[in-house]
Structure formats: structure tokens, C-alpha cells
Amino acid sequence: MAEIVLENIVKRFGNLVAVNNLNLRIEDKEFVVLLGPSGCGKTTTLRMISGLELPDEGKILLDGQDVTFKRASRRDIAFVFQLYALYPHMTVYGNMAFPLKTQGFSKEKVDEEIKMAAGLLKIDHILNKKPRELAGGDMQRVALGRALVRRPKAFLLDEPIGTLDAKFREEMRTELKKLHVDIGATTVYVTHDQVEAMSMGDKVVIMNKGDLQQIGTPSEVYHNPENLFVANFIGSPGMNFIECMPVKDEGGNVTLKMTDVNQVIELPDNLQKIIIKNNKIDHELILGIRPEDINLEFKECKNYINAEVYIIETLGSYNIIDVKLGKYTIRVRTLPTVSPDIGTGCCIGLEMNSITLFDKKTEKSIMKN
Ligand SMILES: Nc1ncnc2c1ncn2[C@@H]1O[C@H](COP(=O)(O)OP(=O)(O)OP(=O)(O)O)[C@@H](O)[C@H]1O
Ligand SMILES: [Mg+2]
């Protein structure tokens, strides 16, 4: 079993704060994905868990034991890097046997472990090949195999399939997930690809510039982003944002006046209440809405906003239609059959249950407060 806990972890490189006060609990058998743009501190975090890097502040606990200053080789954790160096002069079998031989396993035990891992990874047929004879995907499988034979307490995978082409990545994604289900070891997986993160993680940890942004299930981070960064980073395309000002009329009804566009968005009671409860009347807000939560119509509809078709992206099973209203470009996901001419007048209706409101100044969601 392996539960990994990071407590107030800080890592600096000179003046740069690579990881800023990170708190994270990774449960036993969990598949956790660290996600964020380049340079946000993912690899540094992983290297600290593995013991290859020491934190400047904070503690790392493995099954409740403080391992902050314990050497990497003593942590029973396997680290698979993106560009995993296999020994070129050894066969696949030799590569996989190497870590076990150095640990003094008997020949029979080594053989048993390799057969087990090779079976799981479907690389039985290439055990006698040399790395240069292998395709990228197989090479990555061998690298995983080499980690697997050690039966580590936890796997740390740093963009393990990042270099593979898109089609192959998809296959490996499914295989890795299946492998995790089969062996059930705690896994921390690093990627900057949000689709990969969402499809694989039990839990997604989103970071930006060393700061933790949100921890949640894929569904939580998608549907309830805690700030603008997460809302924009997750989803393809990301959330649409509309700047607006909540105004209250004499009757007490709260509406949103769009900034720089002469249009008003009517709100259901629950959203009005959230705005009032947060004291946001006459405070700038940002309304966030996902492309699939917008209805596009080509006739007048009550409570819809007027816009104009700007660009159409045909993506096979759906279309993304960009519509313009004043300074805003709003991306709408439609059925593939919707294909209006550019410049056509249209109106858009927002699914009110799917709106997230953010404070413009703090960039934080006000939905939970
Ligand atoms: N050994 C080092 N010395 C100095 N700066 C470093 C070192 N390692 C990382 N950094 C810096 O720390 C920050 C975080 O780096 P890290 O490699 O953890 O990012 P990352 O999220 O893994 O990015 P990527 O997606 O590009 O791999 C970056 O600004 C990076 O330049
Ligand atoms: Mg990295």
C-alpha cells in the first residue's frame, strides 16, 4: 500500500519558486494526475516525491512515514521519465532484468517477474529484441515493464507517452489505465495535456506557476472550476468568458449587464441569490459558460442574446461555431449539421444551470460561497 502526503512543500531554484506551499494527499491505489502548463512545477513535484529532489520546506509522508530526507533508492517508488533511457546493448529481457539483478533476485525469480510484467504489457513477443528494433510505443512499454518488475509501492510517471503520436497516445492511455486497474498501485501521472488528465485521473491536480489551482475529480474540475485559470485550461475549447455587472432593479430583480455590449442577461433565482449573498451587486463579475451549454438559434427567442456567425470549425462529430457580439467571441458547440453562412445573424441562449460566475478582481468562482 502507498499513501503519499505532501505537506506545505516549497521548492526554490534561486529566486524562482518552482513549487509554492503545496499540500496534497494521494490515497492508496489512487491514480492522480498533475496537470498544468509548461514550467508550472509538475516534474519538480514528482522528483520530490521520488527523492531525486529535496524540498526547501515542508514534509513528504509515505504511508505515514516521513521520507522527506530519505534517499530515492530507499523509497520503493518507481519513476518513469518521458524519454526513458533503455540500455541499447541489452535485449528487452536484459533491460527488464537489470533492476532485479542489482537487487540480488534469483534467476528464477527474475524470470517469473519479467513474464508477469511482459504479460500485462503485452510485450512477451519482443523480449529478445534490442531497443533500436522497437517502435516508440513498445519502447515505452518496456520502460514501464522495467518499473513494474520492481513491484514498487507507487509509480511516478512523467509524461510517459508525451512523445508518441496522437493515435498511439490514445491507445497507450487506455492501456495504462487498464494496467492501473489490474495492478492497483498508487500512481502519480504528470501531463500538460488536459484530455489525457481528464480521461485517466481519479483525481486531477491543476497547477500554474508553482501554485496549486484546484484538486478534484475530472467532473469537478470541469463543471465546478474554482477560478478562471482552471475554467480556461480544462476543456477544448475552454470556457467562454463574458464580463458583466450585476444590477438590481427597483423590484429587486438582479440581471447581468454585459460590459461594452448593450445587452442584458436575465438570471434565475438561484444565481440572483448567489450574487446577493456574495455582495456582488455593482461589482464586476465574469460569467463563464462552456461551448456545449450554449444554444444557437437563427430566429428570435426570448432571453437570447443577438450575435453574428464569425467562424465555423467542422470537427466531424460536432462543430464549433464562433459567434461575435461586440468585443466578445463566443464559442458554441453544435451538431455537425449546423453550418450557417459566415455573417449570418443569430442568437444565443445560455443554459442557466451551467453558468459559473467569477469575481473579476480575484478571478475566483463565487458559486460555492
Ligand atoms: N534544476 C533546476 N534549476 C533551475 N530551475 C529549475 C530546475 N528545475 C526546474 N526549474 C524551473 O522550475 C520551474 C518548474 O519546472 P518543472 O520542470 O517542474 O516544470 P513542469 O511543470 O514539469 O514543466 P514541463 O511541462 O515543461 O515539463 C520552471 O520554471 C523551471 O525552469
Ligand atoms: Mg516536466
CATH code of the domain covering residue 227: 3.40.50.300
How confident is the model at residue 182, as a pLDDT?
Answer: 83
Which of 363, 362, 359, 367 has the alpha carbon at shortest distance from 274?
367
280 within a domain of the structure (yes/no): yes
Q: Does the C-beta of 39 come closer than 6 Å to ligand 1?
A: yes
The reply to whether 215 and 320 lie within a common domain is no
DSSP, res 125: G
How confident is the model at residue 369, as a pLDDT?
Answer: 67
What is the strand order of the sheet 328-334 is part of? 294-297, 345-350, 305-314, 319-325, 328-334
Domain count, the chain: 2
Residue whose CA is closest, atom 5 of ligand 1? Answer: 13
Report the predicted TM-score, pTM, of the whole model to 2 decimal places.
0.90
d(C-alpha 226, C-alpha 304), whole Å: 27
How confident is the model at residue 81, as a pLDDT?
Answer: 63
Which of 178, 182, 179, 177 has the alpha carbon at shortest distance from 197?
177
How confident is the model at residue 138, as a pLDDT?
Answer: 85
Q: Give residue 211 CA to ligand 2 midpoint distance, Å.
A: 15
Nearest ligand to the C-alpha atom of residue 11 = 1
d(C-alpha 129, C-alpha 310), whole Å: 54
Domain of residue 287 covers 240-359
Q: Does the C-beta of 16 come closer than 6 Å to ligand 1?
A: yes
364 within a domain of the structure (yes/no): no
The reply to whether 40 and 107 lie within a common domain is yes
Of 207, 233, 259, at which residue does a domain stop?
A: 233
The reply to whether 227 and 324 lie within a common domain is no
Q: Give residue 206 CA to ligand 1 midpoint distance, Å.
A: 16
How confident is the model at residue 36, as a pLDDT?
Answer: 96
Number of the ligand 1 atom closest to the C-alpha atom of 34: 21
Q: What is the mean pLDDT of residues 108-121?
A: 90
Q: Does the C-beta of 18 come closer than 6 Å to ligand 1?
A: yes
Which of 57, 327, 334, 363 has the alpha carbon at shortest distance from 210?
57
Q: Does the C-beta of 206 come closer than 6 Å to ligand 1?
A: no
Backbone angles phi, psi at 214, to 5 degrees: -165, 145
d(C-alpha 247, C-alpha 105), whole Å: 72
How confident is the model at residue 135, as a pLDDT?
Answer: 84
The reply to whether 187 and 133 lie within a common domain is yes
The reply to whether 296 and 349 lie within a common domain is yes
Q: Give residue 192 CA to ligand 1 midpoint distance, Å.
A: 13
Of 171, 200, 233, at which residue does a domain stop?
A: 233
Please state whether beta strands 154-158 and 77-80 pair in parallel, antiparallel, or not at all (unpaired): parallel
pLDDT band at 84 (very low <50, low <70, confident <90, very high): low
Which of 17, 64, 71, 66 has the alpha carbon at shortest distance from 45?
17
Which of 348, 155, 141 has the alpha carbon at shortest distance from 242?
348
Q: Give residue 29 CA to ligand 2 midpoint distance, Å.
A: 23
